[in-house]
A and B are shown apart, each in its own frame.
Chain A
């Protein structure tokens, strides 16, 4: 059992076995082959015939020039041939990337050497080829020989099923999985006894060529030597003399897979999967059956929520005056509780396994933590969010009914993105303003683009100064400048025009100074001026999707600290300046949303525009 499986709280998850069929929602750990892997120089089971072993585990294995260009790659098997580049032209020398486990051989760069002669051999090479410019182009992975007749393995064609080709000399073979921009383990089994040269890609045989060139027995091996725009990353190359039995081949292939693919993320069946290795997750065909994308498996249900909190430091200036100091560039923290209700036991098993496996995602970069889960959020939030799953709440009210809520955090969305943090300018529901507009409906949201910081931003159509109706208005003709978002008689507003629920409560607390002398009655003094600052929660329950989108876009745009005007309900009826550091949203049912916002009154001049965003203008 792999460490990945043993780390789960779910039983009956196994390594992928191509001899089995699978049902939708089945979960597997894909490690290329079942069973154990073998280190190439392990001789515990007898002599293996290992004659060549190149890898990038240590910089000591390379001879380089002053520019860290490779002049030699040491064979880890002693007294065996090594690969060198003796040409004085540095442009023909590959490059060692200190941070990576591969040698980069670009275009005409190459390394070659002798001492690799064998009539029968088994070669394992793990390589990542960059894309090619046009499908007819070929890209040599390796070649044997020095004369005009070489023994080749070449890549060609476009990167799709039946079009991606791997050549043995002139014989074309269909690749089983992506050949460009992804790692591939190629296994070459050259058997002089039956004059066959078999080629395996990622553990499955894709070619068998009887008429291979005689140069395949030559002692000279060359890597690289391609056209200018091609690149190959060589991770490891292992060469055994003689033909290894398949039982050994799969162990060495698995060694390479475990070492370089480092794939600890589980795969989930998105439909019933037939038996056969061609349906394994890393093949072209298998991609239609297996997924690591949660949206391929599950859709959110009503009851999903979003909450936002601004991380602010309040700077108290005395007399009730204060200013908010943002702790960092992005003050707004967003958390989502994603509901997946009504799942069967099999679906719940898959979802819980997905949740528990999320920390096994690859790192975002060498300097950062693991990647979050790419997910389509619910209306009105962005569709390409990256969330970190943190908590799971699972309850089962009855046999085969499971309700799961996953709490997740968004870390990489930015308030300074002019398109919005999580309620984005998508040009569908939220559009860039241009006249004419084919139709206008109450709560429609527009981004008004302007070089003026004060003018640009998001505006909401309310029908004010025009139809005073909440019906959709078809408006095929141009909107006059005075009716545009910034016009004198605008039909749009930038203000908070939303009205809270009829049932509301406002608690007010007077800010007082307390003189508490011992053995005496305490005395109260007013704390300077502005001692009646409000902090209130306003509810917007049962609101339509369009109104919810408008409210949430307004708040998203304010980023938790920007101030706006709010008119208190009767009997107050006064307009005050507030900011909104917290709000919660629940998508309850179709066209029905609950939103609760916290408003804090602030005494500050309102005419200051906080307008720092990523919208840039350049003048020539």
Chain B
């Protein structure tokens, strides 16, 4: 009888810190191309790129947001992770997101690219000792006390719910004769907030509407865990109402992250 590894006995950590993950997905993808010859035979399958892995994880925020998975910053360094006893040394964060909905716990979703050899045949469950010592967090981010500041949102006052995301592309660069990248850069960093409210102020103009805000994430006791600033343009508005319901206004705020270059 085959043995299946049970989630309850697995731990997930990033840079040595344990996270209370509700879901972890690990995948790898290669991109070979067939080499067909003019006599009709198949010579081989040729590699077109490195093995590109993806790690996606949903976890509860129990403290400040980890700086090493900051998408909008300049830091390009790899993060190390351990999932079910298997180490992944070359994790490159490329997007994070979370939703804040009334009275719901806030789950952070993070996606990483990864490169390198991961020993996927060595997944193991926790030892009994690990399980016994596993501590359930007392404080997690919750929408109950979390909010989005409306001071500079041009007429948006009563936000019902909002989603935040930050993303970037991670182009990789390889030296000749190498299968692993020497650099995984960051490209097109941006963040986005979509919100629902009762009103959205004036109609957007052809260049959108400049807005800025700060999202504050708190736990159920009101302690601030972290803040996320956005300063961009409100780019779309929509108003929806259904029979017997209140009209709900929706909007999207988009920010492109720019860093003025330091003269070298």
Contacts and interface: CB of A to CB of B under 8 A. Distances in A.
Contacts of A397: 187
B39 A570 contact: yes
A71 B46 CA distance: 74
B176 A501 contact: no
Interface in B167-197: 171-179, 182-183, 185-188
Interface stretch (A312-320, A356-364, A584-592): A584-592
A592 B30 CA distance: 14
A500 B47 contact: no
Interface string A477-512: 000000000000000000000011110100000000
Contacts of B46: 542-544, 591-592
Nearest to A401: B185
Interface string B35-57: 11111110110111110000000
B29 interface: no
Contacts of B264: 12, 345-346, 349
B261 interface: yes
Contacts of B44: 544
Contacts of B35: 501, 541-543
B2 interface: no
Interface in A310-352: 341-342, 345-346, 349
The number of chain A residues touching the other chain, given as a range, is 35 or more
A401 B171 contact: yes
Given A342-B182, A544-B44, A570-B38, A590 B177 contact: yes
A59 interface: no
Contact of A301 (B38, B39, B174): B174
A300 interface: yes
Contacts, number: 91
Interface residues of B, number: 36
A398 B176 contact: no
Interface string A539-569: 0011110000000000000000000000001
Contacts of B176: 299-302, 304, 378-379, 587
B175 A398 contact: no
B263 interface: yes
Contacts of A400: 74, 185, 261
Contacts of A592: 46-48
Interface in A397-423: 397-401
A595 to B, nearest CB: 12
Interface string B108-129: 0000000000000000000000
Contacts of B49: 589
B171 to A, nearest CB: 7
Nearest to B44: A544
Interface in A580-620: 587-592
Contacts of A379: 176-177
B9 to A, nearest CB: 38
Interface in B232-264: 258-259, 261, 263-264
A397 B177 CA distance: 24
Contact of A501 (B36, B74, B183): B36
Nearest to A500: B38
Contacts of B183: 342
A502 B36 CA distance: 5
A588 B47 CA distance: 10
Contacts of A500: 37-38
Nearest to B179: A590
Interface string A267-302: 000000000000000000000000000000001111
Interface of B: 33, 35-41, 43-44, 46-50, 74, 171-179, 182-183, 185-188, 258-259, 261, 263-264
